[in-house]
Amino acid sequence: MRVYQTNEIKNIALVGSAGSGKTTLAESMLYEAGVIKRRGSIEAKNTVSDYFPVELEYGYSVFPTVLHVEWNNKKLNIIDCPGSDDFVGGAITSLNVTDLALVTINGQYGPEVGTQNIFRYTEKLKKPVIFLVNQLDSEKCDFDAIVASMIDIYGSKCVQIQYPLETGPNFHSLIDVLLMKKYTWKPEGGAPTIEDIPEEEMDKAMELHKALVEAAAENDESLMEKFFESETLTEDEMREGIRKGLVTRSIFPLFCVCAGKDMGVRRLMEFLGNVVPFVSEMPKIHDTRGEEISPDSNGPESLYFFKTGMEPHIGEVSYFKVMSGHVKAGDDLVNVDRGSRERLGQLFVCAGANRIPVEQLNAGDLGCTVKLKDVKTGNALNQKDLDWHYDFIKYPRSKYSRAIRAVNSQDTEKLMAALLKMRQEDPTWVVENSKELKQTIVHGQGEFHLRTLKWRLENNEKLNVVFEEPKIPYRETITKKAKAEYRHKKQSGGAGQFGEVHLIVEPYAEGMPDPTSYTFNGQEYKVTMKGKEEVDLEWGGKLVFINSVVGGAIDARFMPAILKGIMDCMEHGPLTGCYARDVRVVVYDGKMHPVDSNELSFMLAARHAFSEAFKQAGPKILEPIYDLEVYVPDDYLGDVMSDLQGRRALIMGMDSEAGYQKLQARIPLKELSSYSIALSSITGGRASFTTKFSSYELVPNDLQQKLIAEHEAETAKED
């Protein structure tokens, strides 16, 4: 395998909505470059890129797959990314280590919610974008409508390089307005016949050509001058202009292919080879301290690991990008994120499941290795004494959660170890052992994401697991003030126990003034602020504790014990046993015994008094409410809205974006739990959503009664 120099390497991410044809395109690219002799297909389960058993079983990409081809003496590293929102983590990682996003668009649908989701990431990461309309041979393809909506969404930056002469099953030729040629394919695709543009297409082709020349010229002053003088540019000048426009994201060229029939792929690769910026032409990346890292193969050696995982038939494989320097087998490096040392074994370049040994990889290149001791996704391996860290990958919040349990309880430990390992492969997993809910909860990106987790646990780890509905972290609080007192007294042989506490509770709200007096049954209770403690509760909300005991009724030294007794109750609310929050308590009186009073007595007295007062203070159950944003194609808006109304959601607003609607709502967590599945089934997987915790709100009365009854039934069972 040849060793490529930094200025011969281009890194390209294949991204776009699920089903738009990325994996099929990758297959055609490998075929065109001579890496494979036959093109596989999704249907025949024999593509290079989808090679994990779980991908073959479900028929969609789950992991990003690293491939490479040589084209005109250059090396194109291609990462075929999963398209589904559920596996967006892999796409984000890949965008971070590549210099161009090739965004595929399904010719049947045009730009989809998934297209725009991934486009937003390219925007955040400032990556150049080329759009590629695929499936031009599909009956449903309306190319003019696709171009119109692309321009509607992405503006005049989206510049056509090609257009098809006909779409649908007869698709077999394109007009290319950069080269001003007509490309025609035989039914088996592959090498095109290249001819002059026919007379009847000349006007349209010329108009698009001019628009392209102008767009290319805009990115360079000398090109602009030349353009004003002669109204045209040479091919090389256009390429130069487009390359500059790509880097600054002022041009998004639009290409056409039919990946399934291998039409247009060779021309696309030519463009990628000639025009896409090299690693060395891209803006520099920075380490965590903001230091610029140059992709210099003579610089210090530093590798960034963007993907690690167990692979079929081989075990753990670790994929990296050479951020700086060059790497050889046998190099001794330090894992700066984990502090461990590693000696690199054999190095490979990647072609899906196949690995080809290579002697050396230079800055900018992508490769993989096996048998590292302790390297996880996101880690960096550096030469000794170099402390460059990278944390440029920001993953989205999780939006689908399930409680997970080993069917056989003896497997619990093994399950936890397996979950930890999976999280280290895919950082979009969050595994939470909830003490409060007494459940292990996995938070992921969607139902598919969790389904593949289960598949892998069952098939790779031989672990039988079940998913269950996660319990909801309800809270309790009070809605009015109340007063109670309790005397704890015990006389048993030797030393006795004595403590008496009188207290008032009331709902607490952030920013309310300190109390001065309370009135119960016409009697006034003046507050003397002797001490105040604001406890920020671990589970959210506050407890404010005021000592207003005068005349030495209770020694100040017993106050911590009283607070502890109250906190015990806050941890197990009297209605359903869940955490309580937002309560102010004023201890205003009590009694001591000169000999028998101790901390335990006051703690118990406070616990009883507080619990009693809480029950009289209009206790209520609160539930977590989330802000929800749904991106939904126009045609499904009505169905999505009515489904949301059935989920007790409050629609807060709606924005019309090109081709889809952005709905904002507030929704109880309980109703959100199955939302990923529901939305996907309503819209055929063409919508997406994000969520964020907002606040705790009172549950409706009927739900409160139901929760209390459930809790009572459960405690009766335990007793």
Ligand X SMILES: Nc1nc2c(ncn2[C@@H]2O[C@H](COP(=O)(O)OP(=O)(O)O)[C@@H](O)[C@H]2O)c(=O)[nH]1
* From the list Mg ion, ligand X, none, partner contacted by residue 232 (C-beta under 5 to 8 A by kind): none
Tell me how far, at minimum, the Cβ of 291 lies from ligand X, in Å.
37
> What is the total count of residues that contact Mg ion (CB under 5 A)?
3
Nearest CB to ligand X, comparing residues 52 and 626: 52
The DSSP-derived string for 128-176 is: -EEEEEE-TTSTT--HHHHHHHHHHHHGGGEEESEEES--STT--EEEE
Piece of 57-65, 152-160, 294-302, 484-492 that binds Mg ion (CB under 5 A)? 57-65
Nearest CB to ligand X, comparing residues 41 and 681: 41
Residue 708: strand pairing partners = none
Nearest CB to ligand X, comparing residues 135 and 173: 135
Tell me how far, at minimum, the Cβ of 56 lies from ligand X, in Å.
11
| Long-range contacts of 153-159, Cβ-Cβ distance < 8 Å, separation of 24 or more | 153/111, 153/116, 153/657, 153/658, 153/659, 154/119, 154/252, 156/215, 157/215, 157/249, 157/250, 157/251, 157/252, 158/131, 158/252, 158/254, 159/211, 159/212, 159/215, 159/251, 159/252, 159/253, 159/254
Nearest CB to Mg ion, comparing residues 61 and 219: 61
Nearest CB to ligand X, comparing residues 68 and 608: 68
8 A C-beta contact, residue 652 and residue 665: yes
* From the list Mg ion, ligand X, none, partner contacted by residue 19 (C-beta under 5 to 8 A by kind): ligand X
Tell me how far, at minimum, the Cβ of 102 lies from Mg ion, in Å.
13
Which residue stretches of 546-650 are H helix? 559-571, 599-616, 637-645
* From the list ligand X, Mg ion, none, partner contacted by residue 613 (C-beta under 5 to 8 A by kind): none
Nearest CB to Mg ion, comparing residues 238 and 350: 350
Residue nearest to ligand X (CB): 260
Tell me how far, at minimum, the Cβ of 463 lies from Mg ion, in Å.
27
Nearest CB to ligand X, comparing residues 20 and 324: 20
Under the criterion CB under 5 A, does residue 167 sit at the interface with Mg ion? no
Under the criterion CB under 5 A, does residue 61 sit at the interface with Mg ion? yes
* From the list ligand X, Mg ion, none, partner contacted by residue 209 (C-beta under 5 to 8 A by kind): none
What is the spatial distance between Cα 318 and Cα 321, in angstroms, rounded to a whole number?
A: 10
8 A C-beta contact, residue 54 and residue 455: yes
Piece of 61-69, 167-175, 475-483, 676-684 that binds Mg ion (CB under 5 A)? 61-69
Nearest CB to ligand X, comparing residues 259 and 349: 259
Give Cα separations from 503 to 481, 487, 500, 546 (angstroms). Answer: 11, 12, 10, 10
8 A C-beta contact, residue 398 and residue 430: yes
When computed from its CA atoms, the radius of gyration of the chain, rounded to whole angstroms, is: 32
The DSSP symbol for 276 reads S
* From the list ligand X, Mg ion, none, partner contacted by residue 77 (C-beta under 5 to 8 A by kind): none
Could you tell me how many residues make up the chain? Answer: 719
The DSSP symbol for 15 reads E
Piece of 14-22, 335-343, 421-429, 481-489 that binds Mg ion (CB under 5 A)? 14-22
Nearest CB to ligand X, comparing residues 41 and 72: 41
Tell me how far, at minimum, the Cβ of 53 lies from ligand X, in Å.
16
8 A C-beta contact, residue 27 and residue 45: no
Residues 6+ apart with CB under 8 A from 719: none
Structure tokens at 57: 């079983």
Q: Which of 17, 20, 23, 497 binds Mg ion (CB under 5 A)?
A: 23
The DSSP symbol for 437 reads T
Residue 476: strand pairing partners = 580, 621
CA dihedral angle for residue 211, residue 212, residue 215, residue 219, rounded to 10 degrees: -150
Piece of 18-26, 271-279, 386-394, 549-557 that binds Mg ion (CB under 5 A)? 18-26
Tell me how far, at minimum, the Cβ of 22 lies from ligand X, in Å.
3
Tell me how far, at minimum, the Cβ of 55 lies from ligand X, in Å.
9
The DSSP-derived string for 403-414 is: EEEESSGGGHHH
Nearest CB to ligand X, comparing residues 104 and 452: 104
Structure tokens at 159: 């510049």
Tell me how far, at minimum, the Cβ of 80 lies from Mg ion, in Å.
6
* From the list Mg ion, ligand X, none, partner contacted by residue 138 (C-beta under 5 to 8 A by kind): ligand X
Give Cα separations from 448 to 54, 399, 452, 640, 651 (angstroms). Answer: 11, 12, 6, 20, 27
* From the list Mg ion, ligand X, none, partner contacted by residue 259 (C-beta under 5 to 8 A by kind): ligand X
Q: Which residues bind ligand X (CB under 6 A)?
A: 16, 18-24, 41-43, 60-61, 83, 104, 134-135, 137-138, 258-260
Tell me how far, at minimum, the Cβ of 352 lies from ligand X, in Å.
13
Tell me how far, at minimum, the Cβ of 96 lies from ligand X, in Å.
20
Tell me how far, at minimum, the Cβ of 24 lies from ligand X, in Å.
3
The DSSP-derived string for 708-719 is: HHHHHHHHHHH-
Nearest CB to Mg ion, comparing residues 51 and 183: 51
The site for Mg ion (CB under 5 A) is made up of 22-23, 61
